[in-house]
Structure 1
């Protein structure tokens, strides 16, 4: 039975644990792509058929996985990182499933792991094109807006992470587990 709230609305089940890590299984990559499609094509209409591009050929996807009964259950968040030129890295396609956007700081953890992973791989500068409504989140995570840009007809900011705030994450250190339901 689902728990009821004081006004008799049903509260959906939310797992108590999440892992944020490099996507290393085929189903994780497939589900990350499906989540990106849902967010960027269906919900936001930024792309008509697919958000996939040339970057996907060499990007490293990172996923947030929900846990159920001690096992990874589903991809509830994703981001990808790639090196554009020696030392210059980009993060892109940050997406969190609709029912999880205010849970367990998943977006924040995806950003931290993305920048920390790139930092460990030789990143000297980390950039992202951030939708304008998400700029305050990135600023709270030690990012600076460099300029206002237009991406696919929508206002964005080209932003840069302060690498001093993101220690390098070696492959053996990956796997951040969040076990609370705190609101971001």
Structure 2
């Protein structure tokens, strides 16, 4: 949707405002896995900027934000299971670091069929308890179940951090979905 800005004496007629915001700040928004288990990183940054991506201070690749400021990359060498640090550096034309974003993440070994007492969730960038609960239990309001089971790690349910590992009590068995009537709409 475009907004019309009123004209002024110098500008004449109204003109449309920019329809999409372009990222101006370097961020890491996603640490994700595809169905085969390959990891993918994504985020935002100034359009056309040169980015270098590191896992545990080892260079794993580069990326360049598109015209809207979004970037994504999948490293050829996948990190081993365990706790890692993802770092993205933005470089100026001379090759100097002008911005940096860094987050912890944990890579898990996929299990075939975890039992409810073994069900765990590793918090990734962009997660919150409501979204995790909606994905696991089918209802965001059940975030309190996760909060109560992990009070030793969560001081404020509005503030969770990438890399935290939460127990998921009463999680549905792998391969089953919550009842359709309990899904958020």
Higher radius of gyration, 1 or 2: 2
More helix by share: 1
TM-score, scaled to structure 2? 0.29
Q: Larger relative contact order (C-alpha < 8 A, sep ≥ 6)?
A: 1
